[in-house]
Structure 1
Amino acid sequence: MPAPITEEQTRSDREALLDAAESLFYERGIRAVGMDQVRAASGLPLKRIYRLFAAKEDLVVAILGRRDRRWRESLAAHVEQAPDPRERVLAVFDWLAEWFAEPGFRGCAWVNAHGELGSSSDAVLAEVRSHKQAFHDQIAVWVHAAGASAVEPVFLLAEGAIVTAGVTGDPAPARHARAAVATLLGTP
């Protein structure tokens, strides 16, 4: 009889699976990647994968949730370095420009997931909406701290830059959106 799987091994297997699946899904698309490809990339047997996540949809939701935390923490760490509240709002777009220029940038993982599964998966749609609402709320905090009320335009400029950069493969939309936000905030 094999030894029972420890909690530590379960955590390790789960992280390896999430890493492999996230990379594959982001690079190739969720529907284009079969679970055999996830198995090969993670090094885990399919039986173990399905013990960790009963369905591919559950795996996608877990990936999006984990990515959301990482993405927003990275954004906040960058933005909070700016000493001036107005500069913090503009720093959102500096961070976006850096993200857009990263090798392998394929646009917004949540928009991509929504495009593939949003109409057929309530769980994925809920995770996408949760991320977008949390990003909106983060922007609102920074915009209000800058003494401005332009939350919706700033949010839409950020979202538009993300989608445009994802489609064009060009980081310039972040710079253009930053300039528009600077005008909205009355910042030189």
Structure 2
Amino acid sequence: MREGSLRNHVIATAQKLFYKEGVRAVTMDKVAQSLRMSKRTLYELFTDKEDLLVACVAASHKDFKDKMREASKPEDTVIDIILRTFSYRLKWAKNISPRFFSETNNYPKVVALFESHREDMRADFCEFYHRGVQEGLFIDRLNPQLLYLAFITMMPAVRAYSTKDPLQPFDFFLNTYFVHVRGFATEKGRQLLDEFVVNYRREHHL
């Protein structure tokens, strides 16, 4: 197996372990054992656990953006994109332990990477908001920078709460992402969002 393919295989395996067990419980020994690989080979690819964790987070972020790009259609409205993102994240979150997010805070390079992702998303969100206003789906004359800041400020507290009292993915998204977006949506936008919730609950028997 070529080094690039081997590296990707290691990342995919480590992601599953980190997501299922949290970060603290997953050692480099455990990753190597899961791969039936020597620790020496693993350390030739990744200098330490934090290096591997950074690679896993980066790969997950890229995979998300690639999937959203592939699924996009010219006729999409911002609500279409939001609902597609909700659906993807709900499916993704079902396989992730709440401990994963809280325990990544112990790794400065991972924290820095998350911050970099948030900065990238800030610009995307501002553009997204203005597009939603033009489409008649978001309320005009709000400050998208503050809307985004309010959202990212809320998330650490919600994740900390979820670690102590685990929330089902749908409840988590409904009470965070969904409520926040609904707050600056127009009546037309709220109707589309509410229809999604009704349909999702019916399809998943919630």
Question: TM (normalized to structure 2)?
Answer: 0.67
* 1:69 shift after superposition: 0.8
Q: CA distance change for structure 1 residues 39 and 145 in 2, over 3 Å: closer, same or farther? A: same
Give the equivalent residue in structure 2 for 1:145: 131
The root-mean-square deviation of aligned C-alpha atoms, in Å, is: 3.2
More moved, 64-73 vs 155-164: 155-164
Give the equivalent residue in structure 2 for 1:13: 6
CA distance, structure 2, for counterparts of residue 75 and residue 172 of structure 1: 22
Equivalent residues in 2 for 1:36-55 (5 A)?
36-55=29-48
Alignment of 1:106 onto 2:106:
no
Question: TM (normalized to structure 1)?
Answer: 0.72
Give the equivalent residue in structure 1 for 2:172: 173
TM-superposition CA deviations, 1:114-150 (whole Å, max 9, x none): 3332xxx3x2221121122223333332212112545
* 1:156 shift after superposition: 4.3
Q: CA distance change for structure 1 residues 47 and 25 in 2, over 3 Å: closer, same or farther? A: same
Q: CA distance change for structure 1 residues 157 and 49 in 2, over 3 Å: closer, same or farther? A: same
CA distance, structure 2, for counterparts of residue 108 and residue 76 of structure 1: 29
Give the equivalent residue in structure 1 for 2:105: 115
CA contact (8 A) 2:90 2:169 kept: no
CA contact (8 A) 1:18 1:59 kept: yes
Q: Which amino acid aligns with 2:171?
A: A
TM-superposition CA deviations, 1:80-130 (whole Å, max 9, x none): 346223543455444444444x3x233595x3453332xxx3x22211211
Give the equivalent residue in structure 2 for 1:124: 110
* 1:49 shift after superposition: 0.8
TM-superposition CA deviations, 1:39-95 (whole Å, max 9, x none): 0112221111111112222111111111111123334555x3462235434554444
Give the equivalent residue in structure 1 for 2:61: 68
Q: Which amino acid aligns with 1:133?
A: E
* 1:18 shift after superposition: 0.8
Equivalent pairs, count: 173
Structure 1 segments unaligned to the other structure (5+ residues) = 1-7
- Percent identity, aligned pairs only? 18
CA contact (8 A) 2:24 2:103 kept: no
Q: CA distance change for structure 1 residues 9 and 93 in 2, over 3 Å: closer, same or farther? A: closer
